[in-house]
Structure 1
Amino acid sequence: MTNEFTLRGVMLPVENLDTALHFYRDTLGWTLRFRDGDRYASLDAGGTTIALAAPVEQPVKGQPALLVKVRDVSRAVVALSDAGVDIMLDPVNGPHEVRAAIQDTAGNIISLYTPLEAAAVSGGLDV
C-alpha cells in the first residue's frame, strides 16, 4: 500500500458530550485538547488520544473506532477495497478532515482520516 497507516487514538461513542467530558476530563483528569461544540472532543490520556464522538460524528453509530491517520483517504479506501476490506463509510468531508471507515476481519471499526489542510495539498478533497 502507498499510504502510511498511523494509529492516533481511539474514538468512543457518547450520547452526551458534556456528561462524557465530566467523566473523562473532570473525574479521570485527562486534558482536553480540542472540542467542536456538542459533536466531538479529544483528550490527552497520558500520551494516547481519546476522542469522544456524539452520534453525528460516529463513523458507525454506537461503535468505538481506532483513529488512523493516512496521507490520502480516498487512495487508502481504494487500496483497501481492492484488498477485500469491508468499507463501512466511503470518504466524506467532515468539518476538520476527510474521513472514511473500514472494518477489520474481527468486525472492529477503523476510522481513516486526513486533516483538511493535508487533504487540500494532496488533492483528496474531491471525494
Structure 2
Amino acid sequence: MANISINFVPLSVLDVDQALLFYRDGLGFTVVSDVANGDFRWVSLVGSDGSGTNLVLSTPGAGRSEADAQALAELVAKGAIGPLVLSTTDLDGLFESLSASGAEVLQEPMDQPWGPRDCAFRDPSGNMVRINQAA
C-alpha cells in the first residue's frame, strides 16, 4: 500500500485578518502563502517549527455559492465545526500568552479523562481550538 499523508487542513473563518491575529500572532504559526482570487483569499500557515500540515484559512464564501457561504458562516459563528486540535511542548506557557492576548478561553489547562492535558479557546470566528500538551 502507498504511503499517504495530510498536506492541507482547511479552516473557514469569518475574517482572515482577524484569524491571522490569533493563529500567526497568538499561536506563533508561520504564513507560507497568501493567495488572493477576486474578493477571496486563502492563507496557508504551518506550525512554529516551519514544517508539517498546512492550516489553510479562508472565508466561507471562498469557492462556494452564496447560500452555502451563508450556511457555513452561521455554523462557524456558532462554533459548530471542529474542534481543531493542536499540540505544544509548553501548554502552560502558551495558555498564559494566548489568554493574555484577549483570546476567548473555554477551558484552562487540565488533565482529561480521555488522556491528554489540554486547554481550549475560541478563535475570533467562533471555531473551537483545543491545545494538547505534547508528550
TM-score range, shorter chain: 0.3 to 0.5
TM-score of the superposed pair, with normalisation by structure 1:
0.42
Higher Cα Rg: structure 1 or 2? 2
Per the normalisation by structure 2, the TM-score is: 0.40
